[in-house]
Homo-oligomer: A and B are copies of this chain.
Amino acid sequence: MPTIHDVAKLAGVSRSTVSRVLNNRPGVHPKTRERVLAAVRELNYAPNFAARALKRQRADAVGLIIPASFREPRSDEPRGYVLTEIIRGAYNFFTEQRLALTLLDDQGTFRFYQALFERRQVDGLLFIDLEPDPHMVERLKGLDVPFVVIGNVDAEDVVCVDVDNYESSRRVVYYLYQMGHRRIAFINGPQRRFASRDRRAGVLAAVTELGLSLPDAYDQPGDFSERSGQKAMWRLLEADPRPTAIYAMNDRMAIGAIRAARDAGLRVPEDISVVGFDDIPVAPYIRPPLTTVRQPLYELGAAAARLLVQRIAGQELPSRRVLLPALLVERESVRSLPTEA
């Protein structure tokens, strides 16, 4: 492959001139520029990536740190869809900015991320769902590596972008209320997850604002699995009075809940309404099609990418926490109830 030297020779100029033309530096005679460009085309020249990175001290690449679960075999989790949409959003933005996107998995070790950056293999890091380790984030802040987290993080001054779990949840309860429901129950996710806590907080806020209450019997734990949704529903069905609407923190639990209801001889939504969260691909296909909250996955990826690029450019970021609104997708799993006046 040709080098800048070959181009210079062919164009009859020095290497510096070629470099100037290639980098759009001013102060090159149009005529000369023309000749150089012609030579570039003729030789099909493209600047060596490594040499440029070495000289410029930047990689023109960012690392996307995907959850360690990515390396594990197929599971129930709609990971594929979620991940793809987020990556797509980030990828499109980075590509526009002429930044390469390198896939890396979450090895959980600080040392690994440090090396990545110190080796200048990447100019910045984008973490997807780095939930559990605020400690690592703290250490990361010690480095000067620009990074952005998708999902919430329990650390100060970390740039992160997330769906507005609190507000979305609050909206769901309001929606249910508008549909005439007053006895609204709730299937939660693991409490160690921010998403669960925030969504639950939104529910509590709405319930309070609306003058309702959330008795313990209506506040069931779950672990995001379909099975746990099913079990939670069993308990919910024994509550007295029975709730008229169930809000599950994710679609898989909602699906489990619907199954449990049906097994108990109840119809959804005629006898009991169910709302999920995520809008996973199967949501429209189950019976009944699931009313749920769609996360702005693509936008999450794109927003995070934009923030990361700004950080790499050294800009001060206006806010360190960006919350994106989610969309309530009405399908058929919620019934409108005549309000009990």
* Contact with A120, one of B49, B104, B119, B298 (Cβ below 8 angstroms): B49
Name the contact of A53 in the complex, choosing from B49, B73, B85, B104 (C-beta under 8 A): B49
> Is A32 part of the contact surface with B, judged by Cβ < 8 Å?
no
Q: Is A282 an interface residue (CB 8 A)?
A: yes
A103 interface residue per 8 A CB criterion: yes
A21 at the interface (CB under 8 A from B): no
Among B80, B104, B286, the residue within 8 A (CB) of A285 is B286
Shortest CB distance A125–B (Å): 13
Bound Cα distance A178, B189 (Å): 45
Copies of this chain assembled into the complex? 2
Shortest CB distance A159–B (Å): 22
- With contact pairs A92-B71, A103-B87, A298-B73 given, residues A281 and B78 touching in the complex (Cβ less than 8 Å): yes
Is A54 touching B50 in the complex (CB atoms < 8 A)?
A: yes
Cβ–Cβ contact A70 & B88, under 8 A: yes
Per the CB 8 Å criterion, the residue count for chain A at the interface is 50
A71 touches B50 (CB 8 A): no
Query: Which of B61, B84, B95, B287 has a CB less than 8 Å from the CB of A80?
Result: B84
Task: Kindly provide the distance from the CB of A63 to the nearest chain B CB, expressed in whole angstroms.
Answer: 9
B74 touches A80 (CB 8 A): no
For A103, what are the chain B residues with a Cβ–Cβ distance below 8 Å?
A: 64, 87, 91, 100-103
Pair A83/B85 contact, Cβ less than 8 Å: no
Q: From residue 49 to 64 of chain A, which have CB atoms closer than 8 A to chain B?
A: 49-51, 53-54, 59, 61, 64
Bound together, the chains give a CA A84 to CA B92 distance in angstroms of: 17
Question: Which of B46, B79, B95, B102 is A101 in contact with, Cβ under 8 Å?
Answer: B102
6 nearest CB pairs, A to B: A80-B84, A50-B53, A50-B54, A80-B81, A46-B115, A49-B121
